[in-house]
A and B are shown apart, each in its own frame.
Chain A
Amino acid sequence: MPKQIILAAHFPGVNNTTVWSDPRSGSQIEFDSFEHLARTAERGKFDFFFLAEGLRLREQRGLIHDLDVVGRPDTLTVLTALAAITTHLGLAGTLNATFHEPYELARQLATLDHLSGGRAAWNVVTSHGGFFGENFRRGGFLDHADRYVRAGEFIEAARTLWDTDGGDFAIDSSQFGIKGRFGVPRSPQGHPVVLQAGDSAAGRDLAARHADAIFSRHHKLEDAQQFYRDVKGRLPAYGRDVDSLKIIPGVSYVLGDTDADAQEKAHYIRRQQVTPQTAILLLEQLWNQDLSSYDPEGPLPAADPVLDEDDTIIKGRAGMFPDRLKTATEWRALAEAKKLSIRDLVIEVTGRQNFIGTPARVAALLDEYVQTDACDGFILVSHLTPGGLDDFVDQVVPLLQERGVFRTEYESTTLRGNLGLRQPEGR
């Protein structure tokens, strides 16, 4: 039997993926939107519904970023409401380990696992910098290394609590000194599914040690295969087998009646995603300086980016450019070679659409990725909320089912069961 594909639906909360100017774009906050996407995903027999998290509105040049969709509900609250109107769909929430506390979060996740009958998942992130801290008691800031120490100890603490089955615990680690009784009986999955997002070596090790799945941003075939080998290669050191950790990149797609039609649509969508204003702001994120006087239809700045990672022009978003100078040189060369304006260059280099074509072509590509170990499945990010998944479910899912690589009925009522993950034994 060929490898089975994991599918999840992302409800994008911030960034320029969602084309809000499209008349078909619905509310980013009304529950009806969440309900529509979740019901569509469940109709398509998807494994889970996925939410990212941000704990402060992004800022650029010291101002609240106003071009992208913004404003989103609290993750656990909306997932628990979705639990009431779905029956099999997993419910995955991104919740960072820096501004939550283990007792409270473990209890909330176990509550969701109970109320959903075993469908809860936690995507562990560490968040970036002290910017979020200004909204929390903790305030301030943990540096990169300490954030992963805390995240690792946080997951261990949560697992200890879930294992007590309503009993006593005492945890004494570098980050946490807590004790008492965990007032929650063991939940249907034992432990809610744990996902991890974060790409550094420390992040990958955390995943190899603790996670059931990774939400990755590696979505180009060879890059994804390399990431897959790297991460799966880290598993034996922790006594784990390769199937115990699923790798699921976030990807987008565009469907058309013909491949050319899909390409044309994709091009149109990219131009809507990268408006002239957005083009300048995205360029500023690499150059790390105010470029508001530049013409988006004109050439790139001749000067080099400003290198000050402690004071970046954008706040509230993970650093995307490990080597600014190198990237800027590449971008300039590309713009010159292809005679691209700022906007066209930004469209070219930030291209997110991975799977473009007829439903048959997209189904074949997705299958190829999974069979060649670029990943174990996909978190689909569509450019329209909440109706953007409808076409995929109606047109691509049946083809995947015909290929024998995607379920026609849910195997299980729990997310662990559907993902083929082991049930933790408890202590």
Chain B
Amino acid sequence: MTVQIAVALDDRSFAASHWAGAARLADEARLDFVTFDDRFGRPGPDAVLVASYVAPLTRHIGLIPVATTTHTEPFHLSTALATLDYVSHGRAGWQVRVSADPAEADLLGRRAPLGFDELFAEARDAVEVVRRLWDSWAEDAIIKDVPTGRFIDRDRLHYIDFAGAYFAVKGPSIVPRPPQGQPVIAALTHEARVWENLDADVYFVTPSDVDSAAKIVRQLPAGKKVFADLVAFLDPDQETAIRRRGSVTSDAAVFAGTPAQLADLIAGWAPAGIAGVRLRPGTPDDLTAITRDLVPVLRERGLFTPSTATTLRERLGLPVAVNRYSPESAHA
């Protein structure tokens, strides 16, 4: 049984060389994707821009930045992520987040913090709008028809006319349909009920063992790709790793040990129905240990095989993104 391997980068560096180095390591190890953490209210760069920066410097790896729906404009999010898909030639994704933090609301100053249910209702609307905007241009909308002088066929562009409780968006997008049709949408899910109405493709979950992983997979809607998060401290000897881990706690299970031991653990979790694991390096050095030491072990054991797919959607085995406005989808 093979699994997919991703890494979560939550470094807060502003150094271009730091991000270029980390992304290249992960790319050269042929990991499936990397996620970039972000929150307005903590120090660190804008994750969508970091992902965009590394896009021309990498070739294979999927790029999934975090962006919150709470204080952002769905229109801006949609165009930024579509652009990330263009600059990466079809390797873009988006990890949706909400912000319940009142201090973050103060940074934007537009409104009082929303309640828990409202945050998620707004996120659902934002995802819906972003997806509609991606669909708002047919793939073949640019016609360059010299006799009639038309660059686009306006009948292949669509107003999305979204009107919800939190915002209304007219459309169409200013960005033509991105290479993947729809970049991959992901969400971190501690409680299935919170996100189950959200139209995500990938869920990051935080099981403590194989049984809890299997239970979470059963609770989530069918057809979703589930990745188990694991914090990893990796060293050639277990004692060093355990010492480095110290008393670190996390929402995800924390592993400290050798690459072979982590490979054992991943092999043990694989039957739970997960698509793969997302490793959160305990420290930046652990990213090097993952790419240099863990990946060869996984490959040797047949647990991990670099994908030959060119887009992130294909790599994850997600279905082709059908355009809701196309005549074909009307018949479907």
Contacts and interface: CB of A to CB of B under 8 A. Distances in A.
Contact of B149 (A76, A107, A136, A278): A278
B106 A136 contact: no
Q: Which of B41, B42, B46, B73 counts the most chain A CB atoms within 10 A?
A: B46
B253 interface: no
Contacts of B20: 84
Contacts of B76: 74, 100
Contacts of A68: 151
Nearest to B150: A66
B171 interface: yes
A291 B53 CA distance: 47
Contacts, number: 179
Contacts of B174: 54-57, 71-72
A71 B83 contact: no
Contacts of A80: 49-50, 52-53
A289 B50 CA distance: 46
Q: Is the interface of B mostly helix, strand, loop or mixed?
A: mixed
Contacts of A70: 151-152
A76 B157 contact: no
B89 A76 contact: no
Contact of B170 (A72, A134, A275): A134
B213 to A, nearest CB: 34
Contacts of B306: none
A75 to B, nearest CB: 9
Contact of A178 (B108, B137, B150, B157): B108
Interface in A136-187: 136-137, 139, 166, 176-181, 183-185, 187
Interface of A: 20-21, 29-31, 35, 54-57, 63-64, 66-74, 76-78, 80-81, 83-85, 99-101, 103-104, 107-108, 111-112, 114-117, 134-137, 139, 166, 176-181, 183-185, 187, 275-278
15 contacts: A54-B174, A57-B172, A69-B151, A70-B152, A71-B174, A73-B82, A74-B83, A78-B52, A101-B110, A103-B40, A103-B109, A136-B75, A136-B167, A184-B45, A277-B148
Given A111-B50, A115-B49, 20 more contacts: A31-B87, A56-B170, A64-B154, A67-B151, A71-B137, A71-B152, A72-B174, A73-B79, A73-B82, A73-B83, A74-B79, A76-B80, A112-B49, A115-B45, A116-B16, A117-B16, A134-B169, A135-B170, A136-B169, A275-B149
Interface of B: 14-16, 19-20, 40-46, 48-50, 52-57, 71-73, 75-76, 79-80, 82-84, 86-87, 89, 103-104, 106-110, 137, 141-142, 144, 146, 148-154, 157, 166-172, 174-176
